[in-house]
Structures are given as C-alpha cells and as structure tokens.
Amino acid sequence: MKILTLNSMRKLIYTITGLFAILSFSSCGYNTMVELDENVKAQWGQVQNVYKRRADLIPNLVASVKGAAGHEKETLTAVIEARAKATAVNVDPTKLTPETIEKFNQAQGQLSTALGKLMVITENYPQLQANQNFLQLQEQIEGTENRIAVERQKFNEVTMNYNAKIRKFPNNLTASMFGFEQKGYFQADPAAQNAPKVEF
C-alpha cells in the first residue's frame, strides 16, 4: 500500500511540475516569441520577393535602353554588375542579424544607385520616352520601388515587436534559455539623405 501511495505522490508531483512548467513558459511568452519570430521570417520573405521582382525587371529595362542608347555602355554595365552583386547576397531568415541585413541593404543600395543613374540618362533620349515598352517597364519599376519601401517598413515593424518582446522581463529569461536573439533592422543609407531625387 505504501508503494502505491509513493507512486501516486510521484505522479502528482510530476503532474504539478509539468503544469507549472507549461504555465511558466506560457506566462513568459515562449509561444508569443515563436509567433513573432515567424512573423519576422514571413515578412523577410516579402522583402525578398519585391527585391526579386525588381531584379527580374532590370534585364528587360537594360535591353530597352541598350537599343536606343547603346553608347551608354558604362552605365548599362554598372547596372548589370550591381544587379549581379545584389542577387548574389542571400540572407538566411533564421540569421537576420544587423550585419547580414546591412550587407543585403548595401548590395541593394548599390543597385538602386546604378538604376537611378540609368533613369537619369534615359531622359536624354526622346525615342525612349516615346517607347511604350520602356514606359511600361519604367512604371513597373517605380511601383516596385514603392512596394520595397512598404515591405521594408513592415519588416522593421514586425522586427521591433519581436525585439521588444524578447528584451522585456521576464521574457528575456525565456528568450535567453531558448536562443531567441535580437534581429536587425533596415537602416536608411546616410548618403541617401544627400542624394538627388530621381523621378521615374
């Protein structure tokens, strides 16, 4: 009879300990941290999608410009090279550190700069401004640039929610225990504040 009581006591202790652990994790926000982490990864996917859309439009844009402004070879080459560098930078969504985001941001920024120079040059070619294909590509790129800005802002918002959650007490204890780390943000390029505005 004593053995049965001892086993019953053990089961009761294990049950209480298990319930306590579940309640502790729940109150310390583990499940919320997982959800917020997934939100950041999903939004990162959206950011990559809009950047990929821009990269996919560029070869057609370059081909259109090349037909009318073939002697602007240096600018066209700069766009092609910047696109290659930008598409070569891949960021693992589980490793969204400030350093990896900055590396991605720099590569995309170089492409934006090269693309901006190309668009300025095209203003000197009236035949391009009358080309429907070119005008449609120009419009699509402008729309994509707007989407990029929106998706980057959303990414920063979901990242802020995640980072705030894992830094607050007692969530920080749970975050530390389970390896939830702060994620990086998109930062504005300081040079962009002084850059001339390019109208598409």
Q: What does the domain layout of the chain look like in residue ranges?
A: 46-193
Q: Of 22, 78, 47, which Cα lies nearest the Cα of 183?
A: 47
> What is the value of pTM for the model shown?
0.77
Helix %, strand %, coil % for the chain, to 5? Answer: 80, 0, 20
- Which residues touch 160 (CB under 8 Å, ≥6 apart)? 185
Round to whole Å and give the CA distance between 119 and 116.
5
Calculate Rg over the CA atoms of the chain.
Answer: 26
Answer yes or no: are the C-beta atoms of 104 and 88 closer than 8 Å.
no
As given in the structure block, the two tokens for residue 199 are 């109208």
Q: Give counts: helices (H), strands (E), the chain.
A: 7, 0
pLDDT at 45: 95
As given in the structure block, the two tokens for residue 187 are 């930062």
Q: Of 54, 57, 55, which Cα lies nearest the Cα of 147?
A: 54
pLDDT in single tens digits along all 200 residues of the chain = 445 577 777 777 777 776 566 555 555 688 999 999 999 999 999 999 999 999 999 998 888 888 777 677 888 889 999 999 999 999 999 999 999 999 999 999 999 999 999 888 888 888 877 888 888 988 999 999 999 999 999 999 999 999 999 999 888 888 999 999 999 999 876 554 444 444 44
pLDDT at 194: 45
pLDDT at 46: 96
pLDDT at 200: 43
pLDDT at 111: 93
- CA 110 and chain centroid, separation: 16
pLDDT at 193: 45
The superfamily (CATH) of domain 46-193 is LemA-like domain (1.20.1440.20)
